[in-house]
């Protein structure tokens, strides 16, 4: 199942917006407050059981959305605004197993395992609640330990489970080849990893590293809990990830997206981001840029992209023209360069020298502008 089109009217901060999605990767980007998370919540809302995660815009009496999925169309009115109003029932709750929602809070804390847990047995309404609450980290460790310890038995461990476990074990090394899964401690049931600093508990990894583990193992675990004998490459549902770049170094951000596309090759992945590093590494048809118009309404941002999308743009160009940053320099630099330019126009030698001295201490050692300014100042001394 995939989402093909979404029409939104009067929900959250979005007054009117229409989006189309491609069947693989969709990266929603834009400045804060444009409604990126709201879009993910609306998609999830079509499968949510008894939990309200969206509200109408305060300026309208009734909001609505039409979500066109490959299997059905959900046409829903949203009249609620206050937190405790009831949500109307969901028609397509049985299809909630095809939607996995990862919210921005993806913290993993240490938790001991006193026993090896069995697989969760979900009712439809429980999966529907996950669409609103997001995939929890609670069962990730137990699922992985269970699979590692039972993978050697001859019966009951299917080929699909073997494929999923193989990807889960590899996930610990996706960002840094020097880190890898080592063993399960037989005394504590802890997941132990081999690193350049020695053997460590997996919970002792950095926040960014654990974010990746959370997402990849969380999806693999849910595939097995929901479908029983389905491999990662055969899952054809929707994966929603809010702020996919959270806690990640720019070099790791693109790695995570590339890995998700590779492991879950049949899934539709829809993420939000503030990262120019991610936008610089994806295809033209994977970008959904949104912005605010002059009246504060959310709109699709028209980007004049060529065949290669943003892959030839600089990070500064992406930040300004896609993410809506008015400037990528500090206020001190902006005011100093402005004062320098004015002094040059006025031929005010003392002010030129004063502001040049500041810029000379401020600019990057290899800055091209530094060299140009040096040439200008040398010309003044002649």
Taking only the tens place, the pLDDT of each residue in 60-116 is 888 899 999 998 887 777 776 665 565 566 667 789 999 999 998 888 889 889 889
Helices and strands per DSSP (H, E), number in the chain:
11, 13
Answer yes or no: do 377 and 241 share one domain: no
Same domain, 249 and 375: no
Tell whether 236 and 346 lie within a shared domain.
no
**What is the distance between the alpha carbons of residues 259 and 161, in angstroms, rounded to a whole number?**
19
243 shares a domain with 103: yes
Q: Indicate the pTM of the whole model.
A: 0.89
The residues, ordered by sequence, that sit 6+ positions from 380 with a Cβ below 8 Å of its Cβ are: 349, 352
Query: Does residue 381 have a pLDDT over 80?
Result: no
Residue 53 forms part of a structural domain: yes
Find all residues with CB under 8 Å of 272, minimum gap 6, and list them.
27, 28, 29, 36, 37, 39, 40, 241, 242, 243, 244
26 lies in the same domain as 72: yes
Cα separation of 346 and 348, whole Å?
A: 5
Are 261 and 374 members of one domain?
no
Say what the alpha-carbon torsion angle 172, 177, 182, 184 is, to the nearest 10 degrees: -10
**Residue 24: inside a domain:** yes
**What value does the mean pLDDT take over residues 367-378?**
84
Residue 284 lies in a domain: yes
Average pLDDT, whole number, for the chain?
Answer: 89
279 and 347 fall within a common domain: no
Inter-CA distances, 117 with 82, 137, 145, 214, Å: 39, 14, 9, 18
| Containing structural domain, residue 114 | 3-137+231-321
158 found inside a domain: no
Same domain, 239 and 121: yes
The residue ranking higher by pLDDT, 51 or 243, is 243
Q: What is the pLDDT of residue 84?
A: 57
In a domain, 224, yes or no: no
Same domain, 31 and 119: yes
The pLDDT-based confidence of 263 (bands split at 50, 70, 90) is very high
Same-domain check for residues 9 and 79: yes
């Amino acid at each position: 199942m995939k989402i093909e089109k979404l029409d939104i009217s009067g929900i959250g901060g979005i007054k009117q917006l229409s989006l189309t999605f491609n069947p693989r990767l969709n990266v929603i980007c834009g400045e804060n407050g444009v409604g990126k998370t709201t879009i993910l919540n609306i998609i999830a809302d079509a499968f949510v059981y008894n939990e309200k995660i969206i509200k109408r815009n305060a300026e309208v009496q009734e909001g609505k959305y039409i979500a066109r999925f490959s299997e059905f169309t959900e046409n829903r009115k949203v009249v609620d605004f206050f937190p405790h109003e009831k949500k109307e029932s969901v028609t397509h709750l049985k299809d909630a197993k095809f939607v996995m929602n990862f919210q921005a809070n993806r913290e993993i804390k240490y938790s001991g395992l006193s026993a090896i847990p069995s697989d969760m047995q979900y009712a439809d309404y429980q999966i529907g609640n996950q669409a609103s609450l997001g995939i929890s980290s609670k069962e990730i460790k137990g699922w992985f330990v269970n699979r590692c310890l039972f993978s050697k038995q001859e019966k009951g461990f299917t080929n699909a489970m073997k494929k999923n476990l193989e990807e889960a074990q590899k996930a610990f090394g996706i960002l840094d080849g020097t880190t890898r899964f080592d063993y399960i401690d037989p005394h504590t049931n802890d997941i132990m990893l081999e690193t350049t600093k020695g053997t460590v508990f997996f919970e002792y990894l950095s926040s960014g590293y654990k974010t990746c583990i959370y997402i990849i193992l969380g999806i693999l675990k849910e595939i097995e809990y929901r479908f029983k004998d389905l491999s990662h490459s055969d899952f054809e549902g929707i994966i929603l990830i809010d702020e996919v770049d959270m806690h990640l170094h720019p070099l790791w951000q693109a790695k995570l997206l590339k890995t998700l596309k590779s492991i879950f090759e049949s899934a539709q992945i829809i993420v939000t981001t503030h990262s120019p590093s991610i936008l610089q590494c994806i295809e033209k048809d994977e970008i959904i840029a949104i912005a605010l118009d002059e009246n504060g309404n959310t709109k699709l941002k028209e980007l004049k992209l060529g065949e290669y999308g943003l892959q030839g743009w600089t990070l500064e160009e992406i930040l300004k023209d896609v993410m809506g940053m008015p400037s990528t320099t500090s206020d001190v630099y902006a005011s100093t360069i402005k004062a320098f330019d004015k002094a040059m126009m006025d031929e005010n030698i003392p002010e030129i020298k004063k502001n040049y001295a500041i810029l000379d201490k401020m600019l990057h050692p290899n800055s091209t502008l530094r060299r140009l300014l040096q040439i200008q100042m040398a010309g003044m001394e002649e």
